Structure 1
Amino acid sequence: MKRTVPLLLLTASLSSCAVLFPSPVVDVTVLGLNDFHGNLAPTSFTTAEGAKINAGGIEAIKAELNDARKANRNTVFVGGGDLIGASPITSGLLRDEPSVAALNAMGMSVSALGNHEFDQGLTELLRMQNGGCASNDPAKACKFDPNYKGATFKWIGANVKYSAASGKTGSPFQPYVVQTVAGAKIAFVGAVTKTTPTIVSPDGVKDLDFTDEADAVNAVIPELKAQNVDAIVMLIHEGGELASGSKDTYATVGCKTLNPDSPIVNIARRVDPAVTAIISGHSHQGYNCLVPDPTGRDRIVIQGNFYGHLLQRLDLKVDKTRHQVVTARSANLVVNYDARKAAGTLDAGMGTLLASANEKVGAIKNQPVTNLSTPQIRRGINNARNTETALGGVIADAQLAATQDQGAKIAFMNPGGIRADLPDASALKDGNAVNFGDVFAVQPFGNTMTVMDLTGQQIKELLEQQFSGGNAGTATKLLQVSEGFTYTYTAANPDGQRVNIADIKLGGTPIDPNAKYRVALNNFLAAGGDNFTVLKSGTNVVQLANLSDLDVLVNYLKANGSKLTDTVKGRITAK
């Protein structure tokens, strides 16, 4: 006679088996931080609901990590690049060693390389990774910790190789790191924007090649599959932005409105389907979108704004037996400093580290510079680089004023070199006071001034390069210009035809295509940085190596601060 097993008994038997044989499925949480840029303290942020708060800062970031690890001990902390470089004074004046120390203490496992990791060159980046005090800037190195040990996490980049000219083979960086989490093997494969040589000092990366990001990642996928990894997550320092008119925000889950011309969209469409999710950076945007992989299946592509305002979160159910991800969910978490401070949940250890860094730079950081006529002068809405800004005009005016003794008549400033409002909304002071730390946050690179001659035709070509080549589409970079220089552009026109030379004027008079004009700019831009290659053809070039762009701005603010306003001057107009 056939016997039946009661359902209740069957359930109990399965439950007993689960005790004897642990589930092959592991819940893994991945938290990602992109474009931190050494912002140890919180900065201003506007939430998706329109609330203006202070967000980020190592005390609040660590508190978020603490909570995540309490909820799920299988939590991995990773980076999307630009963790260091272009940093405020509290980290930047100490060669970003406090930021590395903070990330170490937070338990970061791995990070993609970012272009700003290369700001001080490959040799210095390797020191930041491996430790030691043999720096190209001994005045800053090992001043936070005389025994700087380096990063305990690995910077990775599958698309970074030694160039043939270097005489070396291979790469100074690993392409991936495999992290074992509760028995699950989670692979993180990294890449950095292939445009890095055009947006950092060329000398610093002269021994390196930066290859196609998707191709480089795809090349190592077979190697990872051979290791039977259970999940693959891509960390890439390249990004995009939401399409014009999109109502999605960083808080929208599963958005499908990433601008199709964004670099990250092209990359995501080509990256091997074995990659479950892509944590991105570089464009300083917040989004949580879906982009089809090469098979047409939607895949998570997420970015968390910048300066630690958001943490990118992936929740993965990973099957260790089948070596696959069962489910993947994603969200951007707001790192609300104000709320945590009010609740008393800021991390005390990070507070101690921040206080130590502040103490070491305080005497310089707190030096008064000026009192503005307005609470702040801003660099544009949402860090936009495709528009004229009030602060951009002030910086260009400062550079022109500082180089008039060299015959300069026009100054140009690259918008990517303007890193903060003056001051940030988190640092507003009585009497609209501005200190040295506020100015350092605006221009932290340590660039110096250059003057050169350009013909009127070359100036037209320079303005055309704002919209073409490496600056095409979503990458448009509108140079900020000095008083007396004006022009009009038509964005809808074809490459090379967006600016009519008759609409380029100096002192109200159209420039002469054959005449020479003395222009001022920083040394990064003068070397053709940010894809402004025509500047490499300038003549009668004078490098003012002892005149830093930071000192130029400080001196201009001291002389003119009380007269400056947060007003866009209308030197650039669009048809």
Structure 2
Amino acid sequence: MPRNTRRLRPAVAVAAVALAAVAVATPIANSASAKPGSLVDVQLLSFNDFHGNLEAPSGSSGRLVTGHHIDPATGKPVDETVNVGGVEYLASHLEEARKGHARSLTVAAGDLIGASPLLSAAFHDEPSIEALNKLGLDVTAVGNHEFDEGYQELQRIADGGCIDDGDGQDNQNSCAAHEYAGADFDILAANVTEDASGKTILPAYVIKEVDGVKIGFIGMTLEGTPDIVTAEGVKGLTFKDEVETANALVPKLKKKGVRAIVTLIHEGANLPKEKWTDPATGTVYDVNARYDYTCEGGGELVAGSPIVPIAQNLDPEIDMVVTGHTHQPYVCDVPDPDGKSRLVTSASSFGRLYTETNLKYDLKKGDIVRSSVKGSNLLVTRDVAKAPDQTALINTYKELVTPIASRVLGSISTDIKRDQTAAGESALGDLIADAQLADQSTIVNGQTPVIAFMNPGGIRTDLTAANSPYGEAVGDVTYDEAFNVQPFNNYLVSLTMTGQDIYDLLTQQVTGANATSHKILQVSKGFSYQISPSGPVDGSVMLNGQPIDKAASYRVVTNNFLQGGGDAFAAFTKGTDPYYGGLDIDAFAAYLEANSPYTPGPLDRITGTH
């Protein structure tokens, strides 16, 4: 297929002022009409963190908690769950939800692509954008994962065009089915500016008009995006404060006659455990929260959650806040600076939920009646008919991806899981770290890495022996399964660190930005230490049975996300002589091929508690 360069961006974005680019107002036609001065009904449907999940996600990624009961065998509470998600079902649910609503808009809060299953990732997430076009998405904010392949690629995703990527080189292929036409919906990035021009990389806001109703949408990602994506992906960009950015845009929207304003922001909240009472005994247990527990069922957002101070300080003219990033479900009231109720929502992740918000719009005032805003999270159950156009899209790309996805790499003797010990070590983390250490692409000038570090957040799913998506034998691991474990296409990087740098690195797992949510790095065979709540126990950090010398230098390997200081591991940035090797997924695949059948060893590399 001929390769075309990315088509020119719309003139309105090219000509944007330094503060913000703006998408043109988009009228949405329908047959209803309202008398001037009357209140009319408006429906907003929203979701977030889709992450390219075209097919129904499996395992825990495809379930949500709906209730609890006591297990007679153990006498302890267990979760009741339902299987949910998959774009074929999400599209059908949204279509059904829109029935009877003359004025309806569908919006999202980022991470719609990136960290995607191979079915989407193998084609640079073009299939996911095409699926979102089909289900009627109107506008989304960017999230951090939209920057996984750099902001120019994000612009191509928005605008269309093909990449000359060698027809499958590195297991990716742009425009495999047809020329990629881009997103039919607006992608907003109000707080992301290009250093060279001072302009936003994508429009900052868009005004949507539907039968007399005019709503402005401001879209942002979290200011901390550079801390959680590869340095190369955000090079040359500045990520600005969310509150300052949104509040500065409010008067601009008002000058355009827009008083109804909704913020879409890729930042979120953490949720508490649910206090569940056993109806038989009256005993109260801490259990995993139901999908509708916060705040509809009595739960509250965890104090200190990142979105809370943002929501509390957004301009009172902003009527609603749609959020994401933490993959949590909540529909809550977070009062604005005037103390007035304001809805803040998030619909979990992977298309498992969507939020339906219904509100009244005053046509005379041109504004949302805040007291009328009501929202609920709704399950994307799989008991509805699949959307035929989504099924056809999935089938097209499944055929194209099969030669890559179905290749058997090797086998495992048992499930290899992400579950961590009290110290923070996991069997799958050990496997990945060992694979990175064994990869020879990062050896340079005779310098061979002796320690590998892997971030736990980059391990996305378990390796399950019984999983056989292509009919392979029990225990066989396909490229598809391996990719789903590590879907980021990060590069491996070797660098030299001092022993003190390594101690600092291990301390940063439980301090600073990671103090409230510890991130225990997975480490390679031969490296061990004892963790404590304040960091590694002094003298316990060992390499092949010998204590690490704080004054000595060691060659280590990690991925480029961590090497750039991701997940607040600044110690990596002190490393010297960095050398970029191959992709992490290639190292993982090669290790499985060379060590098959693979059986996990004892989890004794990290001891202690944190």
* Structure 1 residue aligned with 2:373: 328
1:421 aligns with 2:462: yes
Moved more, 43-52 or 361-370: 43-52
Compared CA separation, residues 60 and 195, structure 1 to 2 (3 A): same
1:35 aligns with 2:75: no
1:358 aligns with 2:398: yes
* Structure 2 residue aligned with 1:174: 203
Question: Do 1:393 and 1:569's aligned partners in 2 also have CA atoms closer than 8 Å?
Answer: no
Letter of the 2:190 counterpart: A
Question: Do 1:256 and 1:290's aligned partners in 2 also have CA atoms closer than 8 Å?
Answer: no
Question: Do 2:142 and 2:189's aligned partners in 1 also have CA atoms closer than 8 Å?
Answer: yes
Compared CA separation, residues 424 and 385, structure 1 to 2 (3 A): farther
Counting only pairs closer than 5 Å after superposition, residues 276-291 of structure 1 correspond to structure 2 as 276-291=319-334
* Structure 2 residue aligned with 1:485: 527
Compared CA separation, residues 273 and 487, structure 1 to 2 (3 A): farther
1:47 aligns with 2:82: no
1:121 aligns with 2:150: yes
Report the 3-state secondary structure (helix = DSSP H, G, I; strand = E; otherwise coil) of the residue aligned with 2:404.
helix
Give the whole-Å Cα distance in 1 for the aligned partners of 2:192 and 2:329: 26
Compared CA separation, residues 135 and 297, structure 1 to 2 (3 A): farther
Give the whole-Å Cα distance in 1 for the aligned partners of 2:450 and 2:290: 42
Moved more, 48-57 or 123-132: 48-57
Compared CA separation, residues 34 and 564, structure 1 to 2 (3 A): farther
> Residue 509 of structure 1: CA displacement?
4.2
* Structure 2 residue aligned with 1:306: 349
Report the 3-state secondary structure (helix = DSSP H, G, I; strand = E; otherwise coil) of the residue aligned with 1:467.
coil
Question: Do 1:279 and 1:312's aligned partners in 2 also have CA atoms closer than 8 Å?
Answer: no
Compared CA separation, residues 334 and 245, structure 1 to 2 (3 A): closer
Decide which of 289, 296, 319 is 2:362's aligned counterpart.
319
1:393 aligns with 2:430: yes
1:229 aligns with 2:273: no
> Residue 385 of structure 1: CA displacement?
13
Decide which of 180, 188, 197 is 1:148's aligned counterpart.
180
Question: Do 1:377 and 1:422's aligned partners in 2 also have CA atoms closer than 8 Å?
Answer: yes
Letter of the 1:334 counterpart: L
Give the whole-Å Cα distance in 2 for the aligned partners of 1:424 and 1:236: 38
* Structure 1 residue aligned with 2:584: 549
Letter of the 1:158 counterpart: A
Letter of the 2:356 counterpart: R
Report the 3-state secondary structure (helix = DSSP H, G, I; strand = E; otherwise coil) of the residue aligned with 2:556.
strand
Report the 3-state secondary structure (helix = DSSP H, G, I; strand = E; otherwise coil) of the residue aligned with 1:562.
coil
Moved more, 60-69 or 71-80: 71-80
* Structure 2 residue aligned with 1:452: 495
Letter of the 1:148 counterpart: Y
By percentage of residues, which structure has more helix? 1
Deviation track 1:230-265 (CA, whole Å, cap 9, x = no partner) reads 532211111121146766443124455222222111
Compared CA separation, residues 85 and 425, structure 1 to 2 (3 A): farther
Report the 3-state secondary structure (helix = DSSP H, G, I; strand = E; otherwise coil) of the residue aligned with 1:431.
coil
Compared CA separation, residues 138 and 368, structure 1 to 2 (3 A): closer
Question: Do 1:386 and 1:477's aligned partners in 2 also have CA atoms closer than 8 Å?
Answer: no
Compared CA separation, residues 27 and 207, structure 1 to 2 (3 A): same
The two structures, once aligned, show a CA RMSD in angstroms of 2.8
Give the whole-Å Cα distance in 2 for the aligned partners of 1:136 and 1:233: 38
Give the whole-Å Cα distance in 2 for the aligned partners of 1:525 and 1:482: 15
Counting only pairs closer than 5 Å after superposition, residues 511-522 of structure 1 correspond to structure 2 as 511-522=548-559
1:525 aligns with 2:557: no
Compared CA separation, residues 84 and 137, structure 1 to 2 (3 A): farther
* Structure 2 residue aligned with 1:8: none
Q: TM-score, normalised by structure 2?
A: 0.81
> Residue 199 of structure 1: CA displacement?
2.2
Decide which of 100, 110, 117 is 1:88's aligned counterpart.
117
Letter of the 2:178 counterpart: P
Compared CA separation, residues 227 and 20, structure 1 to 2 (3 A): closer
Give the whole-Å Cα distance in 1 for the aligned partners of 2:166 and 2:217: 32
Letter of the 1:317 counterpart: K
* Structure 1 residue aligned with 2:70: none
Identity %: 39
Give the whole-Å Cα distance in 2 for the aligned partners of 1:109 and 1:504: 52
Question: Do 1:80 and 1:237's aligned partners in 2 also have CA atoms closer than 8 Å?
Answer: yes
* Structure 1 residue aligned with 2:451: 410
Letter of the 2:342 counterpart: R
Compared CA separation, residues 92 and 183, structure 1 to 2 (3 A): same
Letter of the 1:31 counterpart: L
Letter of the 2:387 counterpart: D
* Structure 1 residue aligned with 2:418: 379
Deviation track 1:142-200 (CA, whole Å, cap 9, x = no partner) reads 4334321110111112211222xx1x132222221121233211222111011122222
> Residue 299 of structure 1: CA displacement?
2.6
Gaps of 5+ in 2: 1-32, 68-78, 276-286
Compared CA separation, residues 312 and 393, structure 1 to 2 (3 A): farther
> Residue 110 of structure 1: CA displacement?
0.5
* Structure 2 residue aligned with 1:210: 239
> Residue 134 of structure 1: CA displacement?
4.5
Give the whole-Å Cα distance in 1 for the aligned partners of 2:466 and 2:249: 44
Decide which of 135, 140, 151 is 1:111's aligned counterpart.
140
Gaps of 5+ in 1: 1-18
Moved more, 100-109 or 195-204: 195-204
Moved more, 508-517 or 193-202: 508-517
Question: Do 1:256 and 1:291's aligned partners in 2 also have CA atoms closer than 8 Å?
Answer: no
* Structure 2 residue aligned with 1:16: none
Compared CA separation, residues 549 and 462, structure 1 to 2 (3 A): same
Give the whole-Å Cα distance in 2 for the aligned partners of 1:486 and 1:298: 51
Question: Do 1:256 and 1:289's aligned partners in 2 also have CA atoms closer than 8 Å?
Answer: no
1:297 aligns with 2:340: yes
Question: Do 1:230 and 1:320's aligned partners in 2 also have CA atoms closer than 8 Å?
Answer: no
Report the 3-state secondary structure (helix = DSSP H, G, I; strand = E; otherwise coil) of the residue aligned with 2:269.
coil
Count of aligned pairs between the two proteins: 538
Give the whole-Å Cα distance in 2 for the aligned partners of 1:243 and 1:52: 18
Compared CA separation, residues 75 and 295, structure 1 to 2 (3 A): same
Compared CA separation, residues 462 and 57, structure 1 to 2 (3 A): same
Letter of the 1:393 counterpart: D
Letter of the 2:376 counterpart: A
Give the whole-Å Cα distance in 2 for the aligned partners of 1:147 and 1:197: 31
Deviation track 1:479-503 (CA, whole Å, cap 9, x = no partner) reads 1112232333333x4xxxx333323
Moved more, 314-323 or 122-131: 314-323
> Residue 120 of structure 1: CA displacement?
1.2
Give the whole-Å Cα distance in 1 for the aligned partners of 2:424 and 2:216: 40
1:271 aligns with 2:305: no
Give the whole-Å Cα distance in 2 for the aligned partners of 1:31 and 1:312: 6
Q: TM-score, normalised by structure 1?
A: 0.86
Report the 3-state secondary structure (helix = DSSP H, G, I; strand = E; otherwise coil) of the residue aligned with 1:289.
strand
Give the whole-Å Cα distance in 2 for the aligned partners of 1:296 and 1:314: 21
Letter of the 1:378 counterpart: K
Report the 3-state secondary structure (helix = DSSP H, G, I; strand = E; otherwise coil) of the residue aligned with 1:235.
strand
Question: Do 2:413 and 2:465's aligned partners in 1 also have CA atoms closer than 8 Å?
Answer: no
Report the 3-state secondary structure (helix = DSSP H, G, I; strand = E; otherwise coil) of the residue aligned with 1:502.
coil
Give the whole-Å Cα distance in 2 for the aligned partners of 1:389 and 1:288: 33
1:505 aligns with 2:542: yes
> Residue 313 of structure 1: CA displacement?
2.3
Letter of the 1:532 counterpart: F
> Residue 278 of structure 1: CA displacement?
1.5
